[in-house]
Structure 1
Amino acid sequence: MSFTYQTRETRRPFGCSPSLLALSVAMAFTPALSFAAAVNSDDTIVVEESATPGDEGQDQDYSVKTTTTGTKMLLVQRDIPQSVSVISQQRMKDQELNSIEEVLDNTTGVSVSRIDSHRTNIFSRGFFVSNFAFDDMPTFLDDRWNFGDTAGDTAIFESIEVVRGAAGLMSGTGNPSAYVNMVRKHADSREFKGSASATYGSWDKQRYVLDLQAPLTESGDVRGRVIAGYQDNDSWLERNHYRKKFITGVVDADITDSTTLSLAYDYQKSEEDSPTWGGFPSLWSDGSRTDFRREFNTAADWTYSNEDTSRVFANLTQRFDNGWEAKVNAMHAETNFDSRLMYIDGFPDKNTGLYNGALYQGAWGGWNRGERKQDSVDAFVRGGYELFGRQHQIMFGGSYSRQRNNYDNSYPVTDNYGLMDVGNIHNYDGKLAYPEWSDWALYQRDIIRQKSLYTATRLSLADPLNLILGVRWTEWSAHYNLERKPDETRDSKFDDVTPYAGLVYDINDEWSAYASYTSIFQPTSKRNANSEFLDPTTGKSYEAGVKGDWFNTRLTATLAVFRTEQDKVAVSTGQTIPGSGGQTAYKSVDGTVSKGVEFEINGALTDRWQLTFGASRYIAEDDDGVAVNPEQPRTTAKLFTRYQLPMLPELAVGGGVRWQNKTWQDIAGPNGDTRIKQGGYAVVDLFSRYQVTKNFALQANLNNLFDKEYYDYLGTYGVYGAPRNFSVSGTYNF
């Protein structure tokens, strides 16, 4: 018997129309939209735009109909019993989201912490996001080192998928924050076509992207695609300059009517001059808060940070007559960084700008080089089967990955244990004497392996009721040396069985309710005072909610509540590992709980109106009721919308707002423990695009319209968020 997956059909809305529902939500949270609706309340345009969207606008939708993320089975979002956000190519284009970090900064339930000019940490539900994947091939991120992962250019991606909460079924290690999957573009055109774009913006930003597709054989069974780009810009920081170049090439071949082979190569290189390592001191020596100008750059003129990444992908898909298919994915990736940096530490005098001879306060330098190599292979089979007269789905497979990390270090040699004098910080301009550097020394080596077997099935228990059951076995092992001790090696090995269960009940044609459970198994790179890897974090993650789906999945909505319970969570001891060169020692704590609620509506309100609106609220505390990562916002709301004017269809206008509540961080200040705060704030953006001709369009983006000043990072040092900036771009399609 053959099996074909069917997406949900378009049906007449039950009760109120989704357009009215979505509009009501938007009006409730966005006074500007409410005002616009009131002004136009007598216009016939409102009546026309409340009609059910057709299919003609789908190529410009913010929604993506189906995804395999979360379960590896091809499903609409309504059938996935977890919170999922899919950021489409059109959404990235409208907001000018050119890097992974910019996408995640505009994703519901995700917060971005820019800890200096070139490093970004991502958090969700109170915890660090370490699971990044490329076409579901996971890469483990270590927050101590910068390989430029979050700076990856989005021009090569079709969409970016974010599963919030534990996703152990997909990644093996069930990080309780989120699982981020980048879906690459393919060569899917059987005729020559392409696009070219050029952008100019604030701080002399220049960006150029070329995307070409063509058949490589007369039949079009073999197709090729090349995407290349270059970007060069200063920043709002003095003396700071950034440039990157990237290229990807992909060949997709229909070997037979049922067999497809895809080969791809990605490369990106970035170079930054005078990057910061951290930011400016948060406190003066009297304990009061500093207030440096936003353009103040603490880096020396001789600092730089360079990263390059290359990835090779291979994918073989075999489809069978009964509707089943088998896939084999393989990836080899190599990433390198070379960074010569310095940071200003301590608490200078407010009046003189000097450190007044305070011990271990001033400028510290570090020259670090790192290499990460990863080899991964994943093979699985999925399809449908009949049992008890009903149709069901199943997938099963296995994966293996090996990640090798190498880090070397050199440090300044001075008369004061490597400390460099910056003089009066009020007059600091980066002209710091170039130091003598120590000999290169091995800092860290490790090899991390993961082996997994997994399976999941979607059981149709009744017409309105489906149950997803899954399980994954993972073996995680590490072979590593102690910091600065190349001849002393150790081994760690853990294994775990991660169950997954999700129940989805269709209330009616538009709404469904769901509940899900999965366990957590998250190995960590954190080490204790003996430089031993801590035991993996374990726990349980629960989620329940309702989902809406209208217009054949062109508009979706999710309302979810969640609870995550964790033991053996790595927490800083405030001490250093002996002989490690300052590496922080961690300990494990039990009883950490994160709980909250999330909401998102995304897609086409009408054929002319696209909207994404999401909000999240959570509380994360340890067993003693102490807040976990309080520098991350507990409440966030994010909106972006685009509307095509009916009286001038060539013109699209829109914009958005990102709001978060207050954050804080307790630090060791000059007068003892000190709490530093960032009040709640909103950042407003505007957008417009004009279709000059059928093939040529002009677009303008204005970010941080009201030039809101805020801290992007809180700690012993501070980092400002970007001030008001603009970009203008032109795109020609052919």
Structure 2
Amino acid sequence: MSFELFRIREGARAGVRPAYSVLAMMIAGAIYAPQAAAAEAGKEQTMTVSATGEGEASDAASHDYNRPLTRSGTKMQLAPRDVPQSVSTITEQRMKDQNLQSVKDVLTNTTGVSAYNIDSNRTTFFARGFMINKYLYDEIPTTVSSVWNFGDALTDTAIYDHIDITRGATALLTGTGNPSAAVNMVRKHADSKTFTGNLSASYGSWDKQRYVMDLTAPLTDSGNVRGRMVAGYQDNDSWLDRYHFRKKFIYGVVDADLTDSTTLSVGYEYQQGHTGSPTWGGLPTWYSNGNTTHYDRSFSVAPDWAYSENDAKKAFATLTQRFDNGWEVKLNGTHAETTLDSKMTYPSGFPDEVTGQGVSYFSGWNRGKRKVDAGDLYASGPFELFGRQHQLIGGLSYSREDNKFWNSFYPGVVYGDFNHFDGSLPDEGWSAWRESQHDTIRQKTGYLATRLSLADPLNLILGATYTDWEAVGTSANSSADNLAPYAGLVYDINETYSAYVSYTSIFQPQTNRDSNGHYLDPMQGKSYEAGVKGDWNSSRLSASLSLFRTDMDNYAISTGSYIPGTTSFAYDAVDGTKTKGVEFEVNGALTDNWQMTFGASRFLAVDNAHNEIGTYLPRTTMKLFTSYRPPVLRDLTLGGGVNWQNGIWRNVSGPNKSTLHATQGSYALVNLFARYQLTKQLAVQGNVNNLFDKTYYDYVQSYAVYGAPRNFSLSLDYNF
């Protein structure tokens, strides 16, 4: 069954291949030389989408790096060039080629996103100068805190069909959130009525072993009920001494066509990760005399008894009802429970360059549990007004997040010769357990948006989101509500290019407190974006160029001092912070044999006195990855890429109460891959990361964290 989604002029999304143009300056125009014109312009045609929805792609594009439709940005199903915001998509094929096995891997290789590796296991991500704190699972938003490590960044990507990243403020998607990005992880579904499967095994550097099974099968003779299961196991050491990581995961989903127009999906996922000797913090950046340290990359600050374990369970259900007039009603619900158990130690101080004296260890044993219940109900579809076709979406969502944490400590230990630390440290004298945090965060959201066809080439998107937010508990007792408007205008310049402008309001409640212990008011602001987009080859290749600006009030900046009588840092609320920048991306199929993603971003951020803020983030990044299958050797695929970023710095407290300049210069990391199809079903693939073994810091302030040295993996992949 199919239904009419929206009407477009013939040729507008039908793979017209024009000559060179300004927007396609990064290859697209050079690939598509003038060819046959599209069929009669102006003649209407109807775009249809399979009743199974967004998860289904055409066979011809099943191995692309791009997708022709997305719900990101507005929750309406649109072609990417019809969305008046910057959207990046990481498909399953891209994840396979580049060996992106975790959410951390994906975001590290996404246009405009910077990874901030605080230690061996904790990573926070930033876009446009702000931390990404909104993660969606099949369109249901979840807030991720960087304070406690629940292992979110290490979530395995084997269960996802693709991941969408919408940069900028995303009020229509999430209600609240920083003007950074929203990450929507779209799970795999049982979309085959015949038995299919994939088995893979890989081995790599530091004795890394990984095994994944992905099976789909009909559960009834007619295939109207189908099931899919993905399971995997991974075990590896690291370039860090004593570090060992192990995870196992399983995911199952049942998709049922209850009627020709009603579908139900029910699923469950479980992941357990265990790390032996994870680091908490990193290596001192300076010796006590102010000289820069030069430890080996393998040097670990973790004792041999340290560990961290995370268990994540999620159950979800989606009911979709479609109507003959093109309308659709969808109900999403999820329940998630995640637990944390970590016993680690943190080194503090600046060692003597000769004796290694001067470092103390602070040890903490933390346990936590996070529960999330969330639901989302919306209706969307076309309507006719003044003789033109338009779209409308409206919905309600609710989420409740409960966080509980307990901890135990033992007094700081002054270590002898830190420069030769071998993991030996006392594991005794722990204090009694105490509850350190118990919070409940509730959010109720209502949203409404419409896409109005003002003229054949001009569409206006208007929307608003009302949010009622409340946090109650030991670390927060505050509430706020807000109405956030959204507006976007998209103009089709011709059959290939469109220009757009958009405006979004920003609303982000916060639990940071000032030096008097009072909670800061919610961050509020405005986000503006303008750009040009293009697509070719039935949207198999897309490109975008965007300019953005964000104005923020109540932006929290750490004072570097504790709130009196607590162990929490105090923050100042700063009004008038401004961020502006530019982003460019081209993504998808240059030809049937050539896939490529190239993204570049540049931003500047200042406070109300025009001082730079967030200098610990790279201002400029460029990321390239490509794969090519030679026509004369169709069983061979070759590819690779490079990630480059400019330098970062921050003035921090050094030895003897000095202020020192922590810095990491610009650097590039080069990656290669090759795959050979041994038979129709069996393929072998090799990947090399950091080909030239560049030594660099992922994080550098008063302590530093090294990035990964050169590493490789070799895998076998069997499809049936």
CA positional deviation for 1:24: 7.0
Note the alpha carbon deviations across 1:489-518, whole angstroms, 9 max, x for none: x62110000100000000000000000000
**2:639 is matched with which residue?**
654
**1:407 is matched with which residue?**
405
Q: CA separation in 1, counterparts of 2:577 and 2:707?
A: 30
Equivalent position to 1:238, from 233, 241, 244: 241
SS at the partner of 2:412? coil
Q: CA separation in 2, counterparts of 1:11 and 1:694?
A: 30
AA aligned to 2:711 is N
Q: 1:599 aligned to 2:584? A: yes
For residues 388 and 189 of structure 1, do their structure 2 counterparts lie closer, same or farther at Cα, with a shift above 3 Å needed? same
CA positional deviation for 1:693: 0.5
Note the alpha carbon deviations across 1:438-494, whole angstroms, 9 max, x for none: 000111111000001100000000000000000000000011114xxxxxxx62110
Q: CA separation in 1, counterparts of 2:63 and 2:136?
A: 25
**1:122 is matched with which residue?**
125
Q: CA separation in 1, counterparts of 2:88 and 2:612?
A: 26
Equivalent position to 1:447, from 418, 432, 440: 440
Matches within 5 A, 1:254-403: 254-355=257-358, 361-403=359-401
Residues 654 and 660 in structure 2, CA contact (< 8 A), matched pair in contact too: yes
Q: CA separation in 2, counterparts of 1:636 and 1:49?
A: 32
Note the alpha carbon deviations across 1:68-89, whole angstroms, 9 max, x for none: 1111100010000000001111
**1:642 is matched with which residue?**
627
Equivalent position to 1:15, from 5, 15, 19: 19
**2:681 is matched with which residue?**
695
CA positional deviation for 1:293: 0.4
What is the percent sequence identity of the aligned residues? Answer: 55
SS at the partner of 1:5? strand
Q: 1:511 aligned to 2:497? A: yes
Q: CA separation in 1, counterparts of 2:188 and 2:550?
A: 34
**1:31 is matched with which residue?**
none
AA aligned to 1:15 is A
**2:116 is matched with which residue?**
113
**2:478 is matched with which residue?**
492
AA aligned to 1:388 is F
Residues 49 and 607 in structure 1, CA contact (< 8 A), matched pair in contact too: no
SS at the partner of 1:66? coil
CA positional deviation for 1:321: 1.2
**2:603 is matched with which residue?**
618
Note the alpha carbon deviations across 1:592-644, whole angstroms, 9 max, x for none: 11100000000011000000000000001111222222111000000000000
SS at the partner of 2:5? coil
Return 264-273 or 9-18, whichever deviates more.
9-18
CA positional deviation for 1:524: 1.6
SS at the partner of 2:120? coil
Q: CA separation in 1, counterparts of 2:126 and 2:512?
A: 17
Residues 558 and 569 in structure 2, CA contact (< 8 A), matched pair in contact too: yes
Residues 90 and 164 in structure 2, CA contact (< 8 A), matched pair in contact too: yes
For residues 168 and 261 of structure 1, do their structure 2 counterparts lie closer, same or farther at Cα, with a shift above 3 Å needed? same
Matches within 5 A, 1:148-187: 148-187=151-190
Equivalent position to 2:191, from 172, 188, 192: 188
Note the alpha carbon deviations across 1:230-258, whole angstroms, 9 max, x for none: 00000100010000000000000001111
Q: 1:474 aligned to 2:456? A: no
For residues 326 and 83 of structure 1, do their structure 2 counterparts lie closer, same or farther at Cα, with a shift above 3 Å needed? same
Q: CA separation in 1, counterparts of 2:290 and 2:303?
A: 26
Q: 1:457 aligned to 2:443? A: no
SS at the partner of 1:497? strand
For residues 227 and 55 of structure 1, do their structure 2 counterparts lie closer, same or farther at Cα, with a shift above 3 Å needed? closer
AA aligned to 1:145 is W
Residues 334 and 374 in structure 2, CA contact (< 8 A), matched pair in contact too: yes
Please give the root-mean-square deviation of Cα atoms over the aligned residues, in Å: 2.0
**1:422 is matched with which residue?**
415
Residues 52 and 606 in structure 1, CA contact (< 8 A), matched pair in contact too: no
Q: 1:678 aligned to 2:682? A: no
**1:561 is matched with which residue?**
547
SS at the partner of 1:90? helix
Q: CA separation in 1, counterparts of 2:28 and 2:485?
A: 39
Residues 50 and 606 in structure 1, CA contact (< 8 A), matched pair in contact too: no
Equivalent position to 2:697, from 689, 707, 711: 711
Q: CA separation in 1, counterparts of 2:390 and 2:719?
A: 42
CA positional deviation for 1:690: 0.4
Note the alpha carbon deviations across 1:178-234, whole angstroms, 9 max, x for none: 101100001111111100000100000000000011011111110000000000000
Equivalent position to 2:224, from 194, 213, 221: 221
Residues 405 and 446 in structure 1, CA contact (< 8 A), matched pair in contact too: yes
CA positional deviation for 1:56: 6.0
Residues 541 and 564 in structure 1, CA contact (< 8 A), matched pair in contact too: yes
SS at the partner of 1:420? strand
Structure 1 length-normalised TM = 0.92
Equivalent residue pairs, number: 696
Q: CA separation in 2, counterparts of 1:24 and 1:704?
A: 27
CA positional deviation for 1:103: 0.2
CA positional deviation for 1:284: 0.8
Residues 506 and 527 in structure 2, CA contact (< 8 A), matched pair in contact too: yes
CA positional deviation for 1:19: 12
Q: CA separation in 1, counterparts of 2:218 and 2:407?
A: 48
Residues 442 and 471 in structure 2, CA contact (< 8 A), matched pair in contact too: yes
Residues 20 and 50 in structure 1, CA contact (< 8 A), matched pair in contact too: no
Q: CA separation in 2, counterparts of 1:18 and 1:437?
A: 64
CA positional deviation for 1:419: 1.2
SS at the partner of 2:419? helix
Q: 1:609 aligned to 2:612? A: no
Q: CA separation in 2, counterparts of 1:336 and 1:536?
A: 28
For residues 492 and 604 of structure 1, do their structure 2 counterparts lie closer, same or farther at Cα, with a shift above 3 Å needed? same
Q: CA separation in 2, counterparts of 1:587 and 1:67?
A: 39
CA positional deviation for 1:5: 2.8
AA aligned to 2:13 is E
CA positional deviation for 1:15: 3.0
For residues 476 and 433 of structure 1, do their structure 2 counterparts lie closer, same or farther at Cα, with a shift above 3 Å needed? same
